[in-house]
């Protein structure tokens, strides 16, 4: 069994360097004995997806007196993916054993993962071949990050003893309840969330119009089947409603196997070039 002091963890997020979620996560892991480096955006960068900064400089500054003294922390002017790239290539000398992104304030369930900066920061780690975890608290109002941080300590040790398959990201959502109210931990498949998109038109002080996106979550959506997994396996969207911690393995390879097989067996595709 590896001792925590021999395990190096890089932490990032999309809520920004001074968010309570990342502070709780980093301090808890540091107190458990892990070697922690934090590199986060200098401000909230939610829903930035896997965006990168290409047309302006990226600045990074050390942050003191916010995290546990044993933690090295950096504030970065870029996106969550920028933070991980910069950390791995420039800011840290030792390749981390794990990358943990979060704890995000608000869930990342179902199709949210396609927009999430939190998930994208962790996905950047998977692209670099580093086991990675994205963690989110499934509430925008709750500030109970400690149960999720405590779970992260146990999860990291389990992943060290039982490594994931290569190129697998664990997307973890924590129910916004006290630790003793958590039902358990459940392995889930990715579900579906839909929003009613509403762009509200407003006027600025100079009388020019602008638009503000205010999406409303559509509840009670029928969850889709998965081509490789039986329908009785719950989705993350379903399981979180019953106060389970959800663990959903994700990958960056988005190839649609069913459509590939359909196209591969379709004669028109081959005949098109003849």
More confidently predicted of 130 and 231: 130
| Positions of E strands within the chain | 8-12, 35-41, 60-63, 72-76, 98-105, 132-137, 169-174, 184-187, 194-196, 199-203, 209-213, 216-218, 244-250
What is the chain's mean pLDDT, rounded?
89
Q: Which of 94, 30, 86 is nearest to 58 (CA)?
A: 86
pLDDT of residue 201: 86
Average pLDDT over residues 22-41: 97
Q: Which of 150, 181, 185 is nearest to 170 (CA)?
A: 185
Buried b (16+ CB within 10 A) or exposed e, 30-62: bebebbbbbbbbbebbbbbbbeeeeeeebebee
* 48 CB-near residues (< 8 Å, 6+ apart): 14, 79, 80, 81, 117, 120
CATH code of the domain occupying 4-190+223-260: 3.40.1210.10
pLDDT of residue 265: 80
pLDDT of residue 2: 66
pLDDT of residue 165: 85
* Exposure of 102 in the CB half-sphere (CA atoms within 13 A): 31
More confidently predicted of 2 and 64: 64
Contact 124, 85 (CB under 8 A): yes
The sign one gets for the Cα dihedral 115, 119, 121, 123 is: negative
pTM: 0.89
Cα–Cα dist 214/242, whole Å? 27
pLDDT of residue 83: 95
> Is the model's pLDDT at 217 over the cut of 90?
no
Average pLDDT over residues 95-99: 96
Q: What is the DSSP letter of 40?
A: E
> Is the model's pLDDT at 222 over the cut of 80?
no
Q: Which of 147-156, 215-224, 259-268 has the highest mean pLDDT?
A: 147-156
For the packed helices 146-161 and 20-31, what is the interaxial angle rounded to 10 degrees?
A: 50
Tens digits of per-residue pLDDT, 149-197?
999 999 999 999 999 888 889 999 999 999 999 999 999 999 888 766 6
More confidently predicted of 170 and 254: 170
Q: What is the DSSP letter of 223?
A: P
pLDDT of residue 77: 93
> Is the model's pLDDT at 46 over the cut of 70?
yes
> Is the model's pLDDT at 220 over the cut of 60?
no
């Amino acid at each position: 069994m590896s001792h925590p002091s021999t395990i190096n963890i890089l932490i990032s997020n999309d809520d920004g360097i001074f968010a309570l979620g990342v502070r709780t996560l980093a301090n808890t892991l540091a107190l458990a004995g892990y070697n922690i480096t934090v590199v986060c955006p200098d401000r909230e960068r939610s829903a930035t997806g896997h965006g990168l900064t290409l047309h302006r400089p990226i600045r990074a500054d050390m942050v003191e007196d916010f995290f546990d003294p044993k933690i090295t922390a950096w504030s970065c002017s870029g996106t969550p993916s920028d933070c991980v790239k910069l950390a791995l290539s420039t800011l840290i000398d030792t390749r981390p054993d794990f990358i943990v992104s979060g704890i995000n304030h608000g869930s990342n369930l179902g199709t949210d993962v396609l927009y999430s900066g939190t998930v994208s920061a962790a996905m950047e780690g998977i692209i670099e071949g580093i086991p990675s975890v994205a963690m989110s608290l499934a509430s925008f109002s709750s500030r109970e990050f400690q149960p999720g941080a405590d779970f992260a300590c146990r999860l990291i040790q389990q992943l060290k003893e039982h490594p994931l398959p290569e190129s697998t990201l664990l997307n973890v959502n924590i129910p916004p309840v006290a630790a003793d109210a958590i039902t358990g931990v459940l392995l889930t498949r990715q579900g579906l969330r839909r929003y009613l998109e509403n762009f509200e038109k407003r006027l600025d002080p100079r009388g020019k119009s602008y638009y503000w996106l205010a999406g409303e979550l559509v509840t009670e959506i029928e969850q889709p089947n998965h081509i490789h997994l039986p329908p009785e396996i719950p989705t993350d969207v379903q399981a979180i409603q019953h106060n389970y911690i959800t663990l959903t393995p994700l990958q960056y390879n988005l190839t649609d196997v069913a459509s590939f097989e359909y196209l591969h067996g379709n004669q028109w595709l081959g005949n098109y070039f003849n």
